[in-house]
Amino acid sequence: MQANWIFAAPNPLLEKEAQYFLQQWNAQATFEIQSSGTTGAPQIFRFSHAQMLHSAKASIDALGLNTQTKALLCLPTSSVGAKMLMARSLVGAFELTLQQPSSRPLQHLEQAIDFIAMVPTQLQQSLLHDLEQLKRIPKILVGGGELTPVLKAACRAAGLQVWQSYGMTETLSHVALQQISPIEVAHYSALPGIQFSTKNDCLVIHYPQMQLQAFYTKDLVNLHSSTTFTWLGRADNAINSGGFKIIPELLEQKLAGHFQNPFFTAGITDEKWGQVVGIIFEGEIVKDYLHFDGLGLSSAEIPKKYACIQVFKRTSTHKIQRKEILQSLSNADWKSI
């Protein structure tokens, strides 16, 4: 199978990696893909050519891609998102421009494109610095992490066509999509042939074309039907403070826009309450900056301690590695608010 691939700039390593993927595809080889390690130790998953083919076709149909599509690949080629975009371009016979991953993938792009897959950091930087180029792209897919309310609002204000994806390495990229701009749909919707259920309030994915056994996740959701859900957060991130269950991701949505520094929240051990909310910032902040009036927080949700990290450790797709950052902190690093 011939690839309709263009390289945005000469890059021998990127060209070598792309050529290797093409050779594997044409040989119908087994693909090995390593997970990002955001929620645990990185794992290697193996997929057959038939599984890759099915996933690519499902995504092409869901996203409305065709032979006239001109797409941009700006993700690390080792990631599941990049491999599946290359697979889709081969299956859908559309043009794919490949470039070295960066936080500003549109900065030097000369080719016209109508589809791009990005991570939240790339979307944020493109909104800040390359908005006019971003506006010219009819379909923008964002994966690798939930978008903040601030980012969603910025997309709508710019009139962008943006979809958010839900998926993981184990499921070969996304199994559900949610439109967030120009209007926001309230839930994720499954790709054809995929259904959902829950166990202990966590999402269970039924994807028989990928594997006969269900995929059990640690993602807390509100299940609306067998094909729709609202994502709430990770069960293994949940905070129990004096009997009140707090989902950090939902709390962070309430705090979004209140702080300029990147941050995340987590449960910190406390003798009286079991856990209290701690907030971890990237970079230094002034303590007077820490006030939470007017945000509608319950007493249990209000952060009681904070810590500062000079630079957050992130995965290759820019996800904050919460667990590793927390493990690096000592008691002396935490300050009372």
Residues 6+ apart with CB under 8 A from 299: none
In a domain, 110, yes or no: yes
- Which pLDDT tens digits describe the chain residue by residue (337 residues)? 789 999 999 999 999 999 999 999 999 999 999 887 666 667 899 999 999 999 999 999 999 999 999 999 999 999 999 999 999 999 999 999 999 999 999 999 988 999 999 999 999 999 999 999 999 999 999 998 888 888 999 999 999 999 999 999 999 999 999 999 999 999 999 999 999 999 999 999 999 999 999 999 999 999 999 999 999 999 999 999 999 999 999 999 999 888 889 999 999 999 899 999 999 999 998 877 888 988 999 999 999 999 999 999 988 777 899 999 999 999 899 999 9
Q: Are residues 155 and 270 in the same domain?
A: no
Co-location of 84 and 143 in the same domain:
yes
Say what the pTM is: 0.89
- Kindly give, in sequence order, each residue whose CB lies less than 8 Å from that of residue 157, ignoring residues fewer than 6 positions away: none
Residues 9 and 143 in one domain: yes
Do 183 and 248 belong together in one domain? no
Half-sphere exposure (Cβ direction) of 219: Cα atoms closer than 13 Å? 20
Q: Is residue 214 a part of any domain in this protein?
A: no
Question: Based on the domain organization, do 179 and 302 belong to the same domain?
Answer: no
Kind of pairing, strands 95-98 and 162-168? Answer: unpaired
Report the pLDDT value the prediction gives residue 317, as an integer from 0 to 100: 74
* Residue 57 resides in a domain: yes
Tell me, yes or no, whether 29 and 106 share the same domain: yes
Segments forming the whole domain that contains residue 285: 238-336
SS3 label, residue 134? helix
Q: How many domains in the chain?
A: 2
User: For the domain that residue 243 is a member of, what is the CATH number?
Assistant: 3.30.300.30
| DSSP code of residue 191 | P
227 belongs to a structural domain: no
Which of the listed residues 148, 170, 189 is the one where a domain comes to its end? 189
In-domain check, residue 266:
yes
Q: Are residues 142 and 261 in the same domain?
A: no
Task: Please tell me what DSSP assigns to residue 332.
Answer: G
Shared domain check, 143 and 247: no
Q: Is 209 a member of any domain?
A: no
Backbone torsions φ then ψ of 76, nearest 5 degrees:
-60, 135
Q: Is residue 177 part of a domain?
A: yes
Which of 161, 189, 217 lies at the terminal end of a domain, its last residue? 189
Alpha carbon 15 to its chain centroid, in Å, reads 25
CATH number of the domain residue 118 falls in: 3.40.50.12780
Whether 220 is in a domain gets the answer no
Find out whether 64 and 72 touch, Cβ atoms under 8 Å: no
Q: Does 131 lie in the same domain as 55?
A: yes
